[in-house]
Amino acid sequence: MNFRPRHRDEPEINLIPFIDVLLVVLIFLMLSTTYSKFTELQLTLPVADAEQQRDRPKEIIVAVAADGRYAVNKQALDERSVSAVTVALAGAAAAGKDSIVIISADATAPHQSVVTVMEAARRAGLSQITFATQSSTAAGQAK
């Protein structure tokens, strides 16, 4: 009887052919895949007439200068207080509570000046407020 332990060889898995096959499949999938563009919605956007938009009675344009001065619909205000701006906004609101306040502030205007206009609009009962901006290309041409 032979009681000596036998030397067993550990099974070895060779990964190189497996990697080769995976690379061939990957290359095949890359070459055979078609890249399709998803269909997008075809939209026809409305055309606006710029001259028609300029004359709207619901708009109240409030200009805020860099030094904090105000002008409501191109009429300069002497005072800078909230009550003075409130009175001017109430007088300019031709459409009543449906009027839209457009704040056109200078880029270097104090933050408090813009907040003052917003508070005055609230006191006058005007809840629709928006801010006028210009595109970056127009700003570059203005310099």
65 domain-assigned = yes
pLDDT tops 80 at residue 93? yes
48 domain-assigned = no
8 domain-assigned = no
Axis-axis angle for helices 111-123, 82-92 (nearest 10): 50
Q: Tokens representing 7?
A: 């030397």
CATH code for position 124: 3.30.420.270
125 domain-assigned = yes
**Who's near 87: CB < 8 A, 6+ residues apart?**
none
Give the C-alpha distances (Å, rounded to integers) separating 38 from 31, 34, 35, 77, 131: 20, 12, 9, 56, 36
Provide the residue range defining the domain that includes 118: 57-133
Rg of the chain taking only CA atoms, in angstroms: 36
pLDDT tops 90 at residue 27? yes
pTM for this predicted structure: 0.56
Strand 59-64 and strand 100-105: the pairing is parallel
Condensed to tens digits (0 to 9), the pLDDT of residues 102-120 reads: 998 888 888 999 999 999 9
When divided into structural domains, the chain yields a total of 1
pLDDT tops 60 at residue 139? no
13 domain-assigned = no
Give the C-alpha distances (Å, rounded to integers) separating 132 from 26, 39, 63, 102: 54, 35, 10, 6
109 domain-assigned = yes
16 domain-assigned = no
35 domain-assigned = no
Residue with tokens 């409501």: 72
Q: For residue 132, name the pLDDT band (cuts at 50, 70, 90).
A: confident
